[in-house]
Amino acid sequence: MIAPDNYPSKALKDAVEAIGSLPGVGSRSALRLALHILKQSPDKIHAFAAAVDNLAEGVHYCRDCMMLSDGDRCAICADSRRDHDTICVVESVRDVMSIEATGQYHGVYHVLGGIISPINGVGPSDLTIRQLVERVSEKTEVILALSGDVEGETTSFYIYRQIESRGCKVTTLARGLGFGDELEYADSLTLGRSILNRQTFKP
C-alpha cells in the first residue's frame, strides 16, 4: 500500500485524490491513471481537463423529458418524427442510450433520475415523478422500462398508482429468458415467469 505521505509531488497527490474519488477507482488505479495522464503532452492534459470541466456548465436538462441535453430541449423531444404520444419511463440517461441503441423505439422518454430506494434515502419526491404525471394526460401509452429488481418493481407500482386514473395505457418491458440464454443457467424466477408468460410459437 502507498501511504498518502509518500507522494513525491503535491500536484500528483491532488490528481490522485481527485481521480480516486470516482466510484470503483481505488488509490492504486488512481495513481496509475494520474501517471498515465502525466505522460501525455500538456496540450492533451489541458484538453482532458477542459472536457471534464465543461460538465459543470455545458450540460443542461431537457425541460420535457429531464434527459441531459445541450440546450433547453433534447434532440429526441425536439424531433417531430418521433411518436410524442408514447412515453418510455426510464431510470437514467444510460437507459435512454441503451434503448436508443436498439433502434426499436420511436417514442419519447421520461428520465426519472433514479429509482425509489428507501435504503439509499431516495423517495418519490427525489425523482421527476411529478413532472411525469403532468405530462401523462396527453399521452396514449406509458411504458415503464425500469429494472426488474425490487426497487424497480416498487417504483413501477408507485408510478402506476399515480397515473392509472389518467386513462392512458400503461405497459412494461417483456421479461423472460434472454436471446441465446441457456435454460440450465437461467435463474428460476426468470424461467418461471417465462413459462407463465409463454408466447405463441411463430415459425
- Tell me the window of 5-13, 119-127, 159-167, 182-190 that interacts with a copy of itself (CB under 8 A): 5-13
Helix (H) or strand (E) holding 110: strand 107-111
Q: What residue type is assigned to position 162 of the chain?
A: Q
Residue nearer to a copy of itself on the CB measure, 18 or 195: 18
Using the contact rule CB under 8 A, the part of the chain among 42-50, 118-126, 131-139, 150-158 near a copy of itself is 42-50
Q: How many other CB atoms are found less than 10 A from the CB of residue 12? A: 15
Q: Which three cell numbers stand for residue 164?
A: 392509472
What is the Cα–Cα distance from 71 to 25, expressed in whole angstroms? 31
Contact with a copy of itself (CB under 8 A): which of 64, 74, 112, 156? 74
| Among the listed residues 26, 51, 124, 160, the single contact to a copy of itself using CB under 8 A | 51
Q: Is 129 in the site for a copy of itself (CB under 8 A)?
A: no
Q: What are phi and psi of 187, to 5 degrees?
A: -75, 155
Binding piece for a copy of itself, criterion CB under 8 A, among 12-20, 116-124, 133-141, 166-174: 12-20
Rg (CA), the chain: 22
Residues in the interface with a copy of itself (CB under 8 A) total 62
Among 29, 131, 147, 172, binds a copy of itself (CB under 8 A): 29
Among 45, 168, 170, 173, which residue interacts with a copy of itself (rule: CB under 8 A)?
45
Residue pair 77/108 in contact by the 8 Å Cβ criterion: yes
Q: How far is CA 73 from CA 57, 64, 69, 79, in A?
A: 16, 7, 7, 10
Nearer to a copy of itself, 38 or 195 (CB): 38
Q: How far apart are CA 88 and CA 136, in angstroms?
A: 11
Determine, following the binding rule CB under 8 A, whether residue 75 of this chain makes contact with a copy of itself.
yes
CB-based contact 20:26 (threshold 8 Å): yes
Distance CA 110, CA 72 (A): 15
Interface map 80-99 toward a copy of itself (x if CB under 8 A): ------------xxx-xxx-
- Enumerate binding residues for a copy of itself (CB under 8 A): 1-3, 6-12, 14-15, 17-19, 21-25, 29, 31-38, 42, 45-60, 62, 67-70, 74-76, 92-94, 96-98, 100-101
